[in-house]
Structure 1
């Protein structure tokens, strides 16, 4: 029997996950609020991870054309970047 880690989001609604490349060309997948994320060698691996973590809801995955860096400190704010402000919201 293969053990599988359960999805990080046990919510009734699927989490928004951003997928894109960082400045080094690696693929990044990260939940909007920084709850989970990772670096991947391929787009397919990043998408597979995003789908697994968000409960298999492809409609909640946003592929970014701009660079996205993996935020390991929970400060991810791509919404501001997406709308061109370039500013992170103050918590």
Structure 2
């Protein structure tokens, strides 16, 4: 029998999940409000986690091309600061 942990939250609307690498090269997945997140050894594992946690909504996953650190205090920067001028999210 395979045991599967339920998602960390029970919300009907999917929130944005940011994925990217931290300064150490590890992959980070972090929900926009800091409700859940983690460190991963590969992009594939970060994506798998993000999809599981957000109810399988790939359109809400944003891969960042800048350094992102796992925020355990729920203090992610506002979305406008994450992308900067002229940059758009990439799913």
Short-chain TM bin: 0.7 to 0.9
The gaps in structure 1 that reach 5 residues or longer are 85-91
When normalised by structure 1's length, the TM-score is 0.85
Where does structure 2 lack aligned partners over 5 or more consecutive residues?
A: 86-91
Aligned residues: 84
Q: Note the 1:17-28 alignment, pairs <5 A.
A: 17-28=17-28
Question: TM-score of the superposition, structure 2-length normalised?
Answer: 0.85
| Alpha-carbon shift at residue 83 of structure 1 (Å) | 2.3
- 5 Å-filtered alignment, 1:52-67, equals 52-67=52-67
Deviations 1:38-78 (Å, cap 9, x if unpaired)?
00000000000000000000000000000000001111125
**Structure 1 segments of 4+ aligned residues over 6 angstroms from their partners:** none
Show the counterpart of 1:89. none
CA distance in 2, matches of 1:62, 1:12: 19
Give the match for residue 46 of structure 1. 46
